[in-house]
Amino acid sequence: EVQLVESGGGLVQPGGSLRVSCAASGFSFSTVWMSWVRQAPGKGLEWVANIKEDGSEKYYVDSVKGRFTISRDNADNSLHLQMNSLTTEDTAVYYCVRGSGSRKFDYWGQGTLVTVSS
């Protein structure tokens, strides 16, 4: 059974940093693209970033370029999102998702809430 379990969410002040992580199991993690998708309270879905199987390619939505870094560790089947210079606009549930999005996001985690507030 495919499982994606996010962790690391919480409350952070504007300008601060946070790292969210995702533990993957039930599939061959090192052979698939992975992504982060977020959803602000009461709003729609927004793709944040994705990363190739071996980490050699990474893509970001413009609003997070230069502030967020997606990474992965295929040795322990984990995906990470380092978020710096956070603003209130980054407040959202962050979902770990299997796939690049070019064809599909086929499995989603339960999400972790990141709240940026003073």
Partner 1 sequence: QSVLTQPPSVSAAPGQKVTISCSGSSYNIENNYVSWYQQLPGTAPKLLIYDNTKRPSGIPDRFSGSKSGTSATLGITGLQTGDEADYYCATWASSLSIVVFGGGTKLTVL
Binding status of residue 59 toward partner 1 by CB under 8 A: yes
> In sequence order, what are the residues at sequence separation of 6 or more whose Cβ sits closer than 8 angstroms to the Cβ of residue 17?
82, 83, 84, 85, 86
Listed residue (58, 35, 31) closest to 48, CA to CA: 35
Q: Which residues ranging from 35 to 54 are in contact with partner 1 (CB under 8 A)?
A: 35, 37, 44-47, 50
Smallest distance, partner 1 to C-beta of residue 75, A: 26
- Asked if 26 touches partner 1 (CB under 8 A), the answer is no
Determine, following the binding rule CB under 8 A, whether residue 27 of this chain makes contact with partner 1. Answer: no
Binding site for partner 1 (CB under 8 A): 35, 37, 44-47, 50, 59-62, 95, 100-111
